[in-house]
Amino acid sequence: MDWWLVLEWLIKSVVLVLILLTGFAYLTLFERRVLAFMQVRIGPNRAGWQGLLQPIADAVKLIFKEELTPGSVIQPIFALAPIITVVPAVVIAAIVPWGPDVEMFGRTIKLSVADINLGTLYIAAVASIAVYGIVLAGWSSNNKYAMMGGMRSSAQVISYELSLALCFVLVTVLAGSMHAAEIVEAQRDVWFIFIQPVGGIIFLVATLAEVNRAPFDMPEAEQELTAGYHSEYAGMKFALFFMAEYIKMIAISAIAAMLFFGGYREFPLLANTWFSVDVNWWLGPIYMFAKVLVLLFFMVWIRATLPRMRYDRLMSFGWKVMLPLALALVFVTAVGILADLLWIIPVLSLAIGFVFVMLINRSLTMKAKRR
Amino acid sequence: MSLELVLFFVLAAIAIATAVGMLISRSTVYAALHLVVNFVSVAIFYLLLDAPFIALSQVAVYAGAIMVLFLFVIMLLGLENIAGELEWKKLLWPLVMAGILLVEGVFLVLQRIGQNVYVGTTGTALSDPSLMARVLFTDYMLPFQVTAVLLLVAMIGAIVLSKPEKKSATPLKPDGAKEA
């Protein structure tokens, strides 16, 4: 066994976990500041310069908070559920490449923790087991609101997982590979969001549902379910759920950047210039960070803008709109690849997307008229 | 003893323990959770056999989709605790059938002890998705399509069975309950 390889993996894993954890802490601040900006408030700006020490203050508060465990909960599931929630959130980002291969200390180092040739399948597998923590938390709380939250979450994740998996199929077909680094390299000339814009939008919507973010945050809808699946949790256990949600946001943004926005690669117009990743490898992680930041801003923006969807509408949207649309896109993409006509894919998929939007619009106006 | 052998025995112990745990759990939720752990350990077995595609599919399909659905149904219908004693008379036929299967399985295992397992070229096909797809859509085209038809039939059957009768005056359930 090559011990240097083990050391390399160990260092990369620790770095990734550290990035995700610090990212989580500062994402909470980022979200609060951006929300405040959009709602014409100031937001937390007292602890440190521009509130930069706020996450540390929050962490200290949460650690010293009394951890109350209700007597009616079902142990040990109740104690395990937060951990089960955090683990998939942390490991899902393992395959995302943060930059091109680097020559360092006489070895070629890949800037991703796990370099496997089944990247998209790995994401699908980990994303599908991520719901267990929430479902179990809801069940073991022995509280009807928490249970409703857990059940909503499982139904929602099952429904939107299908469209998500079909988006992985889209990218796999376009790149001709499931390998994360190869998917990124396949976007050297043009990002997949330009070839398959509707697929990118479906992916973003499905991921919002998958990580239970607004407008799909039905599992923790506070007006209906107090706080949903984490109603009974306090102190650090609550913080773990909080952490899982924000880490999932970061991981999902990184995955979206990898699949549709060229990953660590520069904007296609900047190829062969000083700004190209091929010339300066260290620009890769910077581009990745910028893309993740933009996508996170997009998520917060959506939260600030859109009201929560009603539960039955959420389900029928997932099954009756997203799934058929994604299936049609897979068909169109396969046809485009087979006929070797790349330009036909965006044209046809935009047309199909337009037809779907018109149909939704029509059915909604019909419903309104009937009332 | 190599690392793989140690891993195999640890995983085998976990797989058997969780299988037994699933059978004897009083709470259906715990039974389902045992089954999830069992599926994941079987997935790691596939990884040890150089078949990462099947391993990840196992996690995504069985642990990720089917068991989540199981848990959902258990919680939706409130079936956490199985009430009542076992009725051995009703279980007679299933027990006989299971016994026959068990004897068959043990016989096959005993027959194969000491034989060399031929892995051959399928090893590479199982780790490379494009090779695997090629094999699936050429050599195994017919079984693949038969499976697809079978799944379609099952799906239609589920829709027909879950469709509410028109005469009954019961209000429609929300979409989530209907489709799950």
Q: What is the DSSP string of A218-242?
A: GGG-HHHHTTGGGTT--HHHHHHHH
Architecture field, domain B1-81? Up-down Bundle (1.20)
What are the chain A neighbours of B35 within 8 Å (beta carbons)? none
Q: What is the span of the domain harbouring residue A26? A: 3-370
In single-letter form, the type of residue at position B20 comes to V
Give the position of tokens 């994941």. B40
**What are residue B171's phi and psi, to 5 degrees?**
-65, 150
Half-sphere exposure (CA, 13 Å, Cβ side) for B14?
19
In single-letter form, the type of residue at position A43 comes to G
Joined together, the tokens standing for residue A319 give 């099954």
In single-letter form, the type of residue at position A142 comes to N
The per-residue pLDDT for B180 is 42
Answer yes or no: is pLDDT of A55 > 60. yes
Does A66 or B157 have the greater pLDDT score? B157
What are the chain B neighbours of A147 within 8 Å (beta carbons)? 75
pLDDT in tens, chain B (180 residues): 688 888 888 999 999 999 998 888 878 888 888 999 999 899 888 888 878 888 888 888 888 888 888 888 888 777 777 666 667 777 888 889 999 999 999 988 888 776 766 655 555 556 677 787 888 888 888 999 999 999 999 989 988 988 776 655 555 555 444 444
Distance CA A269, CA A286 (A): 17
ipTM: 0.79
For chain A, the domain total comes to: 1
- Which CA distances in Å does A33 have to A58, A173, A292, A293, B52? 15, 39, 17, 14, 43
Interchain pair B75, A147: CB under 8 A: yes
What is the model's pTM?
0.83
In single-letter form, the type of residue at position A265 comes to R
Interchain pair B60, A128: CB under 8 A: yes
pLDDT, tens digit (0-9, with 9 covering 90-100), for A267-319 = 777 777 777 777 777 788 888 888 999 999 988 898 888 888 888 888 888 88
Q: Are B176 and A311 in contact (CB under 8 A)?
A: yes
Give the closest of A116, A129, A176 to B59, CB-based.
A129
Interchain pair A117, B36: CB under 8 A: no
A305 interfacial to chain B (CB closer than 8 Å)? no
- pLDDT mean across residues, chain A: 83
The per-residue pLDDT for B145 is 92
Residues 6+ apart with CB under 8 A from B140: none
